Structure 1
């Protein structure tokens, strides 16, 4: 026989909540700014890696970053609309993007191809551009075979007053492993790209290759600037440095039931209880960003003790084995956090789901209430 207790405290205000600790962002920024050989660009793409682009940007700028980076121009408009007037770069746009508005709103744009250069050059206004090299990922950026042609075309556009080439940028594909030969290739290719640009008559003052991992582990990849995004919110892909995770996810237990040993749990009955126990229902699932692949592996913190997630994680809910004593409906479960109180971390959830921390922090759904914990006396920047 199953005994069921149901909570009546399931309103939005007491439902799942994501707390963002901007003090952690501030501490991470200061550490990264100290490590970078040049300026620090705070990359706040994907809504600041799920932590709130404007909040993360303001915090980073107040604690050592000097400029901002995003992917799309739409992300850039959000920062400008918030009154952030610092140097800002957008580097992933289609050829029909509104480059005229970018020039008007003082947003630098990356140029990864001759087609992009043409589109930027014909747009009204004089655009500031960063020529983007593919440094070995076969992803974004110009193919090295086309680099010389791109540099010469950019120089002609510069002489016509259509663009100003202020930067050259690239990205390392294996920076999380500093000893990987891929990084040697990337550094060598980037050095060649800079020489090629200079030979074409360009004098880019901003030269940037390193992201978070390389900023922390590879001074050879530092140039005039480092671009850091994941590190701001406590993620170090190289696992070399203790950063401060800035995100904590909690939720209430909405139901508790006592079940017999052998009770099947969830879709497909992928789990059966070994002994009589209490099961707690938590209103979070894969629609909220918890990966289904973590089913049967993940843990949460309940009353200071880790308890296993059992059965398959569903779209809206998961089940926790609470053990013999159980808990009261309405009590809080910590799904992940910085780990300072024994709770699982985002890094652990990433391991359980065979993914990376970046995917988890950017995937928390809109149904989860967000609360931002501000840094005291954070100055306003405009």
Structure 2
């Protein structure tokens, strides 16, 4: 573990386990926990382990590199990945028993060829485009893809375990139209002689709002990290617990007179004499410059205090005002966390920036040390730490 880290993302393993359990209770079916993009910024390894411990059937990532990194990090449970480059080598996927989301006949043939080199069968899930117009097999390609998949399935070369698609979240009418297209794909695959075990269309939003779209599994990301995928419900209202607490510390305190300019451009000038606290995090760590002058705040000594002046690459400034006499160097600064504990919600930043909570947490930088906290949220137990790449914020 690095020592003296000034930037820490404390990741609550119990919170992730709780959130997976909440989704299992809500759906009554299989949960596929998505841990792509370094576990939405939380550490893919931490998120994968906690999700599997919490009852997830498998974890999902975007690509094979992410999947192999999880295997190298010791994650032994089922892994699915579904976006592949034109030169992808599926041999390691077959060797490491990683399930492949297949969108094209070319990918399917490449996977079949990899089984010869690896000397063992592969497992695939067929990815279908039902209207999002991204990756996935178009209706015109279904018959050829399904016929070949069925042939390989019967031969024991490639086991077709599932079929899935992804919603555009364009409203209930659009969701139902996509579901109808998906139903046609399922029926077509069955007509070719393959009855898939895992059938999944709903991601986090539809899992919460549309029980009729749950099928045999749901494939969820943001909710396992305890954040709401819908604008009209908070995490607490959904029974979720935010898993990440983003922390730093006070490294300098400076008393200044009225009229003092703060940071680049002096876009903030102190109206009265005050005390400024320097915090060593910046936009290189995922703290967007768009927060400049937005009204964003952090908590220091348990109280909210405003961020002032422009955010730099490595640091920002807080006006601690009347708290000055109660604050000392090294005091913790919480940038966001669980609002039920009095911390700023990540949705505050997202709202100020006119974006979504997904973008904020996925953008937490590589200098931020990820620490797995095994204590229940709200307790004072020491977190366990990990010195591996995932703990240090490396992409997994």
TM-score normalised by the chain length of structure 2? 0.85
- Residue 293 of structure 1: aligned partner: 290
Which one of the candidate residues 273, 278, 287 is aligned to 2:275? 278
Instruction: Mark the CA change 1:315 to 1:367 in structure 2 (over 3 Å): closer, same or farther.
Output: same
Instruction: Mark the CA change 1:62 to 1:160 in structure 2 (over 3 Å): closer, same or farther.
Output: closer
- 1:151 matched to 2:122? The reply is no
Q: Deviations over 1:160-181 (max 9, x none)?
A: 554222211101121xx7x532
Q: Where in structure 2 are the equivalents of 1:141-180 lying within 5 Å? A: 141-159=136-154, 161-174=156-169, 179-180=171-172
- Contact 1:292–1:353 (8 Å) recurs in 2: no
- Contiguous gaps of at least 5 residues in structure 2: 377-383, 385-396
- Contact 2:22–2:239 (8 Å) recurs in 1: no
Instruction: Mark the CA change 1:287 to 1:82 in structure 2 (over 3 Å): closer, same or farther.
Output: closer
- Residue 175 of structure 2: aligned partner: 183
Q: Where in structure 2 are the equivalents of 1:181-260 lying within 5 Å? A: 181-239=173-231, 240=233, 241-260=238-257
- Contact 1:15–1:251 (8 Å) recurs in 2: yes
Q: Deviations over 1:126-184 (max 9, x none)?
A: 3211110112211121223323332223234445554222211101121xx7x532211
Q: What is the rounded CA distance, in whole Å, between the counterparts of 1:296 and 1:258 in structure 2?
A: 21
Which one of the candidate residues 36, 41, 54 is aligned to 1:45? 36
- Residue 370 of structure 1: aligned partner: 370
Instruction: Mark the CA change 1:325 to 1:73 in structure 2 (over 3 Å): closer, same or farther.
Output: closer
- 1:135 matched to 2:130? The reply is yes
Deviation of the 1:324 alpha carbon = 4.1
- Residue 4 of structure 1: aligned partner: none
Bigger shift: residues 365-374 or 312-321: 365-374
- Contiguous gaps of at least 5 residues in structure 1: 1-10
Q: What is the rounded CA distance, in whole Å, between the counterparts of 2:267 and 2:147 in structure 1?
A: 61
Q: What is the rounded CA distance, in whole Å, between the counterparts of 1:303 and 1:314 in structure 2?
A: 23
- Residue 314 of structure 1: aligned partner: 312
Deviation of the 1:59 alpha carbon = 1.9
Instruction: Mark the CA change 1:295 to 1:38 in structure 2 (over 3 Å): closer, same or farther.
Output: same
Q: What is the rounded CA distance, in whole Å, between the counterparts of 1:328 and 1:37 in structure 2?
A: 50
- Contact 1:43–1:69 (8 Å) recurs in 2: yes
Q: What is the rounded CA distance, in whole Å, between the counterparts of 1:365 and 1:272 in structure 2?
A: 29
Q: What is the rounded CA distance, in whole Å, between the counterparts of 2:7 and 2:96 in structure 1?
A: 38
- Residue 55 of structure 1: aligned partner: 46
What SS class does the counterpart of residue 179 from structure 2 fall into? helix
Moved over 6 A (4+): none
What SS class does the counterpart of residue 100 from structure 2 fall into? strand
- Residue 8 of structure 2: aligned partner: 17
Q: What is the rounded CA distance, in whole Å, between the counterparts of 2:32 and 2:122 in structure 1?
A: 19
- Contact 1:18–1:371 (8 Å) recurs in 2: yes
Q: What is the rounded CA distance, in whole Å, between the counterparts of 1:166 and 1:286 in structure 2?
A: 42
- Contact 1:60–1:232 (8 Å) recurs in 2: yes
- Contact 1:107–1:128 (8 Å) recurs in 2: yes
Which one of the candidate residues 92, 97, 100 is aligned to 2:91? 100
Q: What is the rounded CA distance, in whole Å, between the counterparts of 2:92 and 2:301 in structure 1?
A: 53
Q: What is the rounded CA distance, in whole Å, between the counterparts of 1:206 and 1:152 in structure 2?
A: 19
TM-score normalised by the chain length of structure 1? 0.88
- Contact 1:206–1:225 (8 Å) recurs in 2: yes
What SS class does the counterpart of residue 4 from structure 2 fall into? helix
- Contact 1:14–1:252 (8 Å) recurs in 2: no
